[in-house]
Amino acid sequence: KLTLGIDLGTTNTLASYIPKGSKTPVILNQTKIPSVVAYLQKSFNNDSTNGDRNNILVGEKAINQSRVNSQNTFKAMKRIIGTTDPHGDAFKGFINQYTHHLNIKDTVKFDVGSGKEITAVDVAGQVLSEVRIQALNELEINESSKEKNKSFDVDAVITVPAYFNNLQRKATLKAATLAKINCLRIINEPTAAALSFGVLQQKDNRDGIFAVYDLGGGTFDISILELDGSVFEVRATSGDLQLGGEDLDYLLRTYVIDKFAKGNESLKKDMVSDENFMNELLKNCETCKIELSRVSSTTIAIPFAFKNSETGDMVNFKINIEEPELDKLAEPMVKKSLKIFRKCLKDAKIDKKDIKQILLVGGMTRMPFIRNSLSETFAKDSSSSSTIVNSTINPDDSVCLGASIQAGLLKGEIKDVLLLDVNPLSLGMETYGGVMSKMLVKNCNVPIEVKEQFTTGIDNQQIVKIVIYQGESNLCRDNVKLGELLLSGIPQLPKGVPKIEVSFKLDSNGILNVSAKE
């Protein structure tokens, strides 16, 4: 079987593998695709991932037709995978683009026409399926008809944000299954980047405490790790699943519209009400943001962009953007990320001066403003200025390469490395008054199992409902509900007499299993 390391990203997805007889992973260039999927208005069948792929476009093909099919072109779905509420914070960036999302049963579905509904899991499954196909093509592995009928023909380690909760991790596993990929392990993105750095680059003198600052297209993660010989131990992790380059794209789009309109509300209304123009401008803002990481000034130009309602003429949109303008827009985001960074250091009980290096991961960390902000923060906050902001690793490839290293560890191809990861968010259950009783606290090592005894609250109680939550608030209503478990057949006894044992078991993927017995 082919074994891949896959970085399933908000913006782009990429895979790598370890060639036979080697211990060094190699990037598969054909697998680098935008995480974008388009559903065409044709006859859909019931198989959402492996049906007629002529009706479904993935990657660059999906982007190329997005202007004429924006409502059925889906990107950044990683931000909402595993979420259930279309009115929640995760959907704020999607409000203008997707006007037809709805909440059905326990998941959010999108109506793409012809009676077809898809979910973020379906979109991720399509992206992973395309990665699998491109990897097999690049390595010239021909799938025989017999092999095509197998449940799985590719193994993989797939990366997720460290701050992904239980539902989001399970949804990622489901997407892999839809893509006919056997997921060996889910690994946190900052941990994968640290593996890549420690195993491939810093082979000598790598002992010490490192921070992985991972700011990608849709999410922000920060992890504090200690490297001691061959042991990679995560001390603490934190993040924000709604903080990334996508947010800056939207901020920049709003800014350039205001700058171009120059107070002309009618012109601004013409732009905002033109859905195709707004999507085209968003793509151009992303390109502008990327360019300003290497040049000090760039231009956004869209010919025949939108119609002026007062004159009836098509308007050519052209505007110049300077690097300081983008920096000012990014400043609140960067400050927020640094606040999370400081909290993570506190959780890990690590002093700033003890950080040996800060490893930069994710495309956004190419921004000079972000690199300078980190350098200035540590120079100002630390009594020692020895902390190195390491920008020598490839921010796009390191997570993917680390996933292949983890696959190599699981397959026995790479030895003498021990990885110890942590639980990103506390897990517990609802008790009297809606208070969450925490069973597994944030940053405990995984895998882990904890058992506790509880009892009944009323006389002769025969059924107990265990409601499971994940999050840091003491109140369940402020956390994420993961599910419910009913325990029946409890002997009719006075309250407080029955003994109920509840087990919370968290596996290496960060996925929870809860059981209870009397």
The phi, psi pair for 339, rounded to 5°, reads: -65, -40
**Mean pLDDT of all residues in 138-148:** 65
Strands 355-361 and 388-390 come out as parallel
Q: What percent of the chain has pLDDT over 90?
A: 70
Residue 103 pLDDT grade (very low, low, confident, very high; cuts 50, 70, 90): very low
Whether the predicted pLDDT of 265 surpasses 70: yes
**Mean pLDDT of all residues in 259-285:** 93
Is residue 275 part of the annotated active site? The answer reads no
Is residue 204 part of the annotated active site? The answer reads no
Whether the predicted pLDDT of 101 surpasses 60: no
* pLDDT score of 151: 45
Whether the predicted pLDDT of 100 surpasses 80: no
Burial class of 278 by CB neighbour count within 10 A (0 to 12, 13 to 18, 19+): middle
* pLDDT score of 149: 42
Poorest-pLDDT segment among 88-92, 115-119, 286-290, 493-497: 88-92
3-state secondary structure of 78: helix
Residue 210 pLDDT grade (very low, low, confident, very high; cuts 50, 70, 90): very high
**363-387 pLDDT per residue, tens:** 999 999 999 999 998 876 555 557 8
Nearest to 517, CA basis, from 492, 482, 495, 489: 489
- Residue in 7, 240, 286, 396 annotated catalytic: 7
**460-493 pLDDT per residue, tens:** 999 999 999 999 999 999 999 999 999 998 999 9
Whether the predicted pLDDT of 207 surpasses 90: no
Contacts (Cβ under 8 Å, ≥6 apart) of 475: 434, 435, 436
Is residue 60 part of the annotated active site? The answer reads no
* pLDDT score of 230: 87
C-alpha span between 124 and 108 (Å, rounded): 14
3-state secondary structure of 464: strand
* pLDDT score of 378: 82
Please identify which residue in the block is written with the tokens 């949109």: 317
* pLDDT score of 164: 94
Poorest-pLDDT segment among 108-122, 159-173, 408-422, 440-454: 108-122
Runs of H (alpha helix) within 78-119: none
Domains recognised in the chain with CATH numbers: 2-79+104-189 (3.30.420.40), 192-243+332-395 (3.30.420.40), 245-328 (3.90.640.10), 427-517 (2.60.34.10)
Please identify which residue in the block is written with the tokens 């191809």: 413
Whether the predicted pLDDT of 106 surpasses 70: no
Poorest-pLDDT segment among 139-153, 210-224, 289-303: 139-153
Q: Which residue type does 449 have?
A: E
Whether the predicted pLDDT of 145 surpasses 50: no
Structure token digits, residue 143:
């799938």
pTM (whole model) above 0.75 = yes
Is residue 247 part of the annotated active site? The answer reads no
Residue 251 pLDDT grade (very low, low, confident, very high; cuts 50, 70, 90): very high
C-alpha span between 29 and 169 (Å, rounded): 26
Q: Which residue type does 403 have?
A: A
Q: Which residue type does 194 have?
A: A
Whether the predicted pLDDT of 66 surpasses 90: no
Task: Yes or no: say if 184 and 172 are a contact pair by the CB < 8 Å rule.
Answer: no
C-alpha span between 486 and 498 (Å, rounded): 15
- Residue in 122, 130, 153, 214 annotated catalytic: 214
* pLDDT score of 72: 87
Whether the predicted pLDDT of 45 surpasses 50: no
- Residue in 78, 109, 174, 289 annotated catalytic: 78
* pLDDT score of 148: 52
* pLDDT score of 50: 47
* pLDDT score of 53: 59
**Mean pLDDT of all residues in 48-62:** 74
- Residue in 130, 153, 155, 189 annotated catalytic: 189
Element holding 188 (H helix, E strand): strand 181-188
Poorest-pLDDT segment among 29-38, 193-202, 363-372: 193-202
Residue 40 pLDDT grade (very low, low, confident, very high; cuts 50, 70, 90): confident
C-alpha span between 130 and 207 (Å, rounded): 39
**491-501 pLDDT per residue, tens:** 999 998 999 99
- Secondary structure of 129-180 as H, E, C letters: HHHHHHHHHHCCCCCCHHHHCCCCCEEEEEEECCCCCHHHHHHHHHHHHHCC
Task: Yes or no: say if 397 and 150 are a contact pair by the CB < 8 Å rule.
Answer: no
The DSSP letter of residue 53 is: G
**Which of the listed ranges 92-106, 198-212, 330-344 does the model predict with the highest average pLDDT?**
330-344
